[in-house]
Amino acid sequence: MADEKTLELSKKDRQAVAWRHQFLQGSWNYERMQNGGWCFAMIPAIKKLYPNKEDQAAALKRHLEFYNTHPYVSAPVIGVTLALEEERANGAEIDDVAIQGVKVGMMGPLAGVGDPVFWFTVRPILGALGASLAMSGSVVGPLLFFIAWNAIRMWFLWYTQEVGYQQGREITKDMSGGMLGKITEGASILGMFIIGALVERWVSISFTPVVSQITQQDGAYIDWSKISGDAEGIKAALTQYAALGVNGLDQVKVVTLQQNLDQLIPGLAAVGVTLACCSLLKKKVSPIAIILGLFAIGIAGRVIGLL
């Protein structure tokens, strides 16, 4: 091995690693989790840094150890590892234990950042925007989600890998200053806010039992006996409907249980069902069982006239 730093990973080499790193979970296994995908991503760098076949084999072997973290926040870990391998190839006193220790030390804290940032914040926001456009009949909806999501994902993988590579071992010092905790907490709060806003939009529950029937006074409803069947009559009916609302269609105003709940807290039932499902998931109840249970409750509620 060289005494001076003559071996250096070019930008092209690091881009090759970043591209392969996208497939980190391609060979996921129960014994060592993501080690196969990690080793696959490191191959371009190992070939560049270790011309000798024996050194290459040794490097591949040490990167087949256990590894598991969120697939996106794994990028800074692989960046730091590239820097360590580069230093080692140039003669630095860095052994296998040190490299594996850095990987293990970083993958744990970073794993808790990926879920709230990506799965609970970025993806729901983009999904909601795309779904809203798709429901209006626009093909831009799915395209927006697909393009924006992959653009953010690929940019983040490359940028954080470069940060890890440039910082080297120094990046591990930032992980003890509470930075990751603040990121995780902020992303969790934002994610829960977005999910809460989407609940009322996507979860639809209507309780149909009639609570009361009120006979309305003249002028509070449309007197259909006075509406002619020509264009002027239709215009008059629409004008009155715009002024009176849905309660002005009939002389008898029917108030349902759902209308009372909406006056109290709009979306209360939807939030209650969502929280109940979350509680069951925390208790390790199977999602399939929850779905089947909701189907059964919906059918039973319809039969007895509750829903």
pTM of the model: 0.58
Mean of per-residue pLDDT scores for the chain: 81
Contact 109, 175 (CB under 8 A): yes
Between the alpha carbon of residue 203 and those of residues 28, 272, 292, the distances in Å are 35, 10, 16
Burial class (CB in 10 A: 0-12, 13-18, 19+), 203: middle
Q: Which has the minimum average pLDDT: 173-177, 200-204, 282-286?
A: 173-177
Q: Kindly report, residue by residue over 35-59, the tens digit of the pLDDT.
A: 999 999 999 999 999 989 999 999 9
The DSSP output letter for 304 is T
* DSSP letter, residue 229: S
Query: In the structure, what pLDDT confidence band is assigned to residue 268 with cuts at 50, 70 and 90?
Result: confident
Distance CA 24, CA 70 (A): 10
pLDDT at 174 over 60: no
Is residue 186's pLDDT more than 80?
Answer: no
Chain segment 70-93, per-residue pLDDT in tens: 898 899 889 989 988 888 888 878
Q: Tell me the residue type at 69.
A: T
Q: Which long-range contacts (C-beta less than 8 Å, at least 24 apart) are formed by 271-278?
A: 271/196, 271/199, 271/200, 271/203, 273/203, 273/205, 274/199, 274/203
Query: Residue 180's pLDDT is what?
Result: 46
**Digit-coded pLDDT (tens) for 277-295:** 888 888 888 888 888 998 8
What local confidence, expressed as pLDDT, does residue 283 receive? 87
Do 240 and 288 touch, CB atoms closer than 8 A? no
**Which residue type sits at 100?**
Q
Q: How far apart are CA 109 and CA 112, in angstroms?
A: 6
If phi > 0 it is left, if psi is from -120 to 50 it is alpha, else beta; for residue 284 that is left
Q: What percent of the chain has pLDDT over 90?
A: 22
Checking if the pLDDT of 167 tops 60, the result is yes
Spatial separation of the C-alpha atoms in residues 25 and 34, rounded to whole Å: 6
Asked whether residue 262 carries a pLDDT value surpassing 50, the answer given is yes
pLDDT at 166 over 90: no
